[in-house]
A and B are shown apart, each in its own frame.
Chain A
Amino acid sequence: MNKEEIYILSAKQISMQQPLDEEWMEHPLYPSEPFVRALNPDFKPYIPPMEARRMGSILKRAIAVSVEALRNSGLVVSTDNAVPSVDAVITGTGYGCIENTELFLDPLCREGENLLKPTCFMQSTHNTIGAQIAIRTGNHGYNMTYAHKHISFESALYDAWLQLRLKKIGTALVGGHDEMTPVFFEILRKGGIFGQGAEVCGEAATAVVLGGGKAVDSKQRLCRLAGMRILSHFDTETLNVALQGLLVGAGHTVDDIDAVLCGVSGNPSSDTLYRSEISRMVGEKPLLRYKHIFGQSFTASGLGFYVAVQCLKRGFIPDFLYVNEKMQLSGAPKCLLLYNRGDGHSCSLILLEA
């Protein structure tokens, strides 16, 4: 068991950075407001305009970013499909389709229980995202959605990782999707959920294609998913045991970790905990961040995963990702640890290797 190697075949994003490419690595956009919406690509190549008009942002972005990830995965396109097929479509979303939820909830609460729009309700369910991806890519495979706060993306990744190791599936499309409306952001800010301190809230759409073992063309491998853990209680000892297990399983020691990518966001209380927990786990290592240019959301960690994959693929980490620019790697990164502690309810540890 556990001998199946799992590779990342492609990774794409839509966020507050230029969509669907890696322009941010050269020219990052820095947010200047506490809430910044995603930059949408032109959806015409992905969705007929008539249909797109009836769709919430989260669905349009999820379809576009998933199709791009599938097209770039190097997987073979069957004759009757426009994009390559995968064995599983697994989605993470913290709040789900919040635009349509609001469009249904607002009149329900203001005007009462009549004349409510079925389209908004149909699109308010979390698994609308995965269902739309499946419908549009003709995928009858395993379809699953997770909605668990800051580890929504990791839960989806974990499901894929388990099934790839069990060889129940050979390929998977894993996504992390959250949209945000100005009204809902205001509620969350006042409720103390997001936008605390210098934290900038954003929107996330990440799509990653994973493949298991020998079936995967070696030229197409961006990096290897060496292992992962999700924990729901994480005192120092639990974290250290989990990290040790992760490293041993991947055939590594703590010395092999080149840098730690973490979710510091400008929220002073969680940023402090990030630093202390990481230093207790791995000692002094270069610390990387991404939320200052991608923003905070329940599935921001999906964007973090994408960032780490791109850095490993290119063998270079842009200066602006270092928390402390004086503590930089000299060579190409070979092994990155990703640590997401969310709001303290759950955390995830992911080991990626070039």
Chain B
Amino acid sequence: MDAAPVWITGSGVVSAIGLNKRECLAALLAERSGVEEVQYLQTSHHEFPVGEVKLSNEQMRKRLGIAPDALTTRTALMGMLALQEALQEAEVSAGMLPETAFISGTTVGGMDKSEQYYLDFLSGESHMEYIALHDCGSCSEVVAQHFGKWAMVTTPSTACSSAANAIILGANMIRCGEAEIVVAGGSECITKFHLNGFHSLMILDERPCRPFDATRNGLNLGEGAAYLVLESAEHAQRRGVQAQALLSGYGNACDAFHQTASSPDGEGAFLAMKEALEMAGLSPQSIGYVNAHGTGTPNNDLSESHALRRIFGSQLPPFSSTKPFTGHTTSASGSIEAVFCLLAMRNGFIPSNLNWSQPLEEGVVPVTVTRKAGLEHVLCNAFGFGGNDSSLLFSKPVGR
């Protein structure tokens, strides 16, 4: 199979630890978490710490120059902030957008407005314009239209692996010759809908989450957005832009075990990582760091540990979950953590798995202090409900 790597020529991110890559990098290096008491979401559940983006919708509108009365959602606003950074870094001008595809994963879509106005929707008397923003696709459209006309816009929605899957679609489009440049990732805000949903499943922790720790007791929800600019090598070279990193492999597999729980042996996760390695033509030993999905739920972390053991045997590479920094950013986690991987490769460090103290049953031990490391190849995992497991493999460009 032809597996010429896809170039990554730009990226942008918004999360609880920063409104751009520079801020996120500083927080990762300083081991500064953005998970704290809820501040922006109107909820009665103050007992659950969350990783909110530290801006109100009004502040985001102001930054983006969007009129106070323009229809939008929090997911769309965060998406615009991240997309703006990615496009600027990759030097993608408005004139290039009609040839550029935009693939943006989300699952809650416009639920923040729907839950606010649902009773108005029922009476049909006010705020009816917001029903047009309820669905996931509308969210991507609103983000896209802020920047101009695009070749194609679509929306993967596979819960917590949505953004990783967006990147996979984008890469397949480039490898198939259907596009030369694709911007892919995802965006998701915290809503009462899924905060209460995760609560009803009893997988939220009232303390800061502790991925891969024996005492882990659930996840903290987070929010944010991130996008990667994917490009064919020829296209990037033609317009004289450098590769920040290469996407050299990726895998998507289905656990096919349970709607919300992972299988004990981590079959889906194992298959996804295996496929990514095979596609890149790399041995497990060449991986310098794994950014684990590591949500902090008892089930995910144990299952993922088994999958890591099955891939790497006793020679586990350094790994960590960065969710204690950002909370679990659900549909956006795949691309937010992909950007963290690019930052780690570029700046030569491995981010810490905060809040860890005791090994879990499987005995795998994450990196618990941020440390310097030269990284050539890193794996980034994103797993979703429905056993939707994806893994992305990033490599340092030759000579960088």
The residue of chain B having its C-beta at the shortest distance from the C-beta of A126 within the complex is: B157
Tell me if A263 is interfacial: C-beta within 8 Å of chain B: no
Tell me if B245 is interfacial: C-beta within 8 Å of chain A: no
| Contact A232 B124, beta carbon cutoff 8 Å | no
Partner of B384, one of A113, A122, A127, A142: A127
Task: Give the chain B neighbours of A307 by CB distance below 8 A.
Answer: none
Task: Give the chain B neighbours of A192 by CB distance below 8 A.
Answer: 128, 132
How long is the Cα–Cα vector from A232 to B102 in the complex, in angstroms?
Answer: 10
Chain B positions 178 through 198: 1 when the CB is less than 8 Å from some CB of chain A, otherwise 0: 100000000000001110111
Tell me if A144 is interfacial: C-beta within 8 Å of chain B: yes
The residue of chain A having its C-beta at the shortest distance from the C-beta of B98 within the complex is: A233
Task: Give the chain B neighbours of A273 by CB distance below 8 A.
Answer: none
| Contact A116 B388, beta carbon cutoff 8 Å | no
Tell me if B358 is interfacial: C-beta within 8 Å of chain A: no
| Contact A108 B121, beta carbon cutoff 8 Å | no
Partner of B119, one of A109, A116, A144: A109
Q: Contacts A106-B118, A144-B158, A162-B172: A113 and B192 contacting too (C-beta < 8 A)? A: yes
The residue of chain B having its C-beta at the shortest distance from the C-beta of A187 within the complex is: B121
How long is the Cα–Cα vector from A298 to B109 in the complex, in angstroms?
Answer: 15
How long is the Cα–Cα vector from A191 to B135 in the complex, in angstroms?
Answer: 13
How long is the Cα–Cα vector from A256 to B178 in the complex, in angstroms?
Answer: 24
Chain A positions 149 through 160: 1 when the CB is less than 8 Å from some CB of chain B, otherwise 0: 101100100110
Q: State the Cβ distance, A306 to closest chain B Cβ, in Å.
A: 21
CB neighbors of B among A131-146 (8 A): 131-132, 134-135, 138-146
Tell me if A165 is interfacial: C-beta within 8 Å of chain B: yes
| Contact B178 A162, beta carbon cutoff 8 Å | yes
| Contact A127 B385, beta carbon cutoff 8 Å | yes
Tell me if A202 is interfacial: C-beta within 8 Å of chain B: no
CB neighbors of B among A52-106 (8 A): 89, 93-96, 104-106
| Contact A141 B254, beta carbon cutoff 8 Å | yes
| Contact A183 B122, beta carbon cutoff 8 Å | yes
Task: Give the chain A neighbours of B178 by CB distance below 8 A.
Answer: 162
| Contact B119 A110, beta carbon cutoff 8 Å | yes
Task: Give the chain B neighbours of A124 by CB distance below 8 A.
Answer: 197
Chain B positions 241 through 271: 1 when the CB is less than 8 Å from some CB of chain A, otherwise 0: 0000000000011111111100000011001
How long is the Cα–Cα vector from A57 to B254 in the complex, in angstroms?
Answer: 23
How long is the Cα–Cα vector from A168 to B3 in the complex, in angstroms?
Answer: 11
Task: Give the chain B neighbours of A108 by CB distance below 8 A.
Answer: 115, 192-193, 196
Tell me if A18 is interfacial: C-beta within 8 Å of chain B: no
Task: Give the chain A neighbours of B136 by CB distance below 8 A.
Answer: 96, 126, 147-148
Task: Give the chain B neighbours of A142 by CB distance below 8 A.
Answer: 252-254
Task: Give the chain B neighbours of A33 by CB distance below 8 A.
Answer: none
Q: Contacts A2-B177, A105-B118, A232-B144: A191 and B131 contacting too (C-beta < 8 A)? A: yes
Partner of A232, one of B119, B121, B150, B252: B150
Partner of B200, one of A116, A131, A147, A155: A116
Residue of B122, B136, B141 with most chain A CB atoms under a 10 A cut-off: B136
The residue of chain B having its C-beta at the shortest distance from the C-beta of A124 within the complex is: B197
Tell me if B152 is interfacial: C-beta within 8 Å of chain A: yes
Task: Give the chain A neighbours of B44 by CB distance below 8 A.
Answer: 112-113
CB neighbors of B among A260-299 (8 A): 298
Task: Give the chain A neighbours of B310 by CB distance below 8 A.
Answer: none
Tell me if A248 is interfacial: C-beta within 8 Å of chain B: no
Q: Contacts A108-B115, A162-B176, A232-B150: A135 and B157 contacting too (C-beta < 8 A)? A: no
Q: State the Cβ distance, B204 to closest chain A Cβ, in Å.
A: 12
**Which A residues form the contact surface with B (CB < 8 A)?**
1-2, 89, 93-96, 104-106, 108-110, 112-113, 116-118, 121-128, 130-132, 134-135, 138-149, 151-152, 155, 158-159, 162-163, 165-168, 183, 186-188, 190-193, 230-233, 238, 298, 345-346
Q: Across chains A and B, which 6 residue pairs bring their CB atoms closest together, nearest first?
A: A131-B386, A121-B197, A148-B137, A191-B131, A143-B254, A149-B137
Besides A108-B115, A108-B196, A192-B132, 4 new A-B residue pairs in contact (Cβ under 8 A), listed by A number: A1-B177, A118-B197, A126-B136, A166-B2
